[in-house]
Amino acid sequence: MPDPAPSPRTRARRLNYKAAYDRPTIDAILDAMPVAHVGHIVDGFPVVTPTLHWREGDRIYWHGSSASRMQKRATGEQVCVTVTLTDGMVLARSGLEHSVNYRSVMVFGRAEVVEGPEAKAAHLKTMMEQMFPGRWDQLRPITAQELKATRILSLPLTEASAKISAGPPLDPPEDVTWPVWAGVLPIRLTMGTPEPAPDLAPGIAVPDHATDYRIG
């Protein structure tokens, strides 16, 4: 069977039974969690920045200010975008069998910048529509100056891998009878009640795209 990893650096070295390289698995994790951690190299040291990301087909995108040091440096440079969902704490019978249930994706590559105001506006609209369907067309329209001040970066999903840890603790047989509770403490991302802005004009109801929003 050929190595399913798309590149050497993408291949999981440790716990490789938890690794997956198929796009449905990768896409499901990326689409469930909009917060990514982007790793850059700045002046020779690593910098990890949390940022929103979104997927369009075979690529992921993220955006920030054109003036941002991270955004400038990332253009054309090697980056690693990692998306992680924490699903539970796994309590085993011995200390080092304790673990975390999680779903994560790592994407490697050289960040590419989206050029041109029309393309940038189209990507921002797609991002918004994925998160809050119908909202973009209700907003105060985006301006040329706002587009100019926004940089959108992108990475193909050619060098992506997923890692999933799920299920109960896997203590070795000789530990299973140890008299301590073992199991999983599930962790979920939940949405609270929408909080209207204090300066919201009267008579504007909470829209479905706000009450329907879910992550995780």
Give the 3-state secondary structure of residue 13.
coil
48 near its own copies, judged by CB under 8 A: yes
> How far, in Å, CA of 105 to CA of 29, rounded?
7
CA-based nearest residue to 114, from 37, 32, 56, 160: 56
| β-pair partners for 163 | 19, 104
82 or 154: CB nearest its own copies? 82
Q: Which stretch binds its own copies (CB under 8 A): 22-30, 54-62, 67-75?
A: 67-75
9 near its own copies, judged by CB under 8 A: yes
Minimum gap (Å) between residue 153 Cβ and its own copies: 14
179 near its own copies, judged by CB under 8 A: yes
For residue 82, give the amino acid letter: T
Q: Which of residues 23-42 bind its own copies (CB under 8 A)?
A: 35, 37-42
68 near its own copies, judged by CB under 8 A: yes
Member of 4, 76, 133, 168 binding its own copies (CB under 8 A):
168
Q: Which of residues 117-156 bind its own copies (CB under 8 A)?
A: 124-125, 128, 131-132, 135-136, 138-142, 146, 149-150
CA-based nearest residue to 36, from 111, 90, 119, 147: 111
Is residue 167 left, alpha or beta, with left meaning phi > 0 and alpha meaning psi from -120 to 50? Answer: left
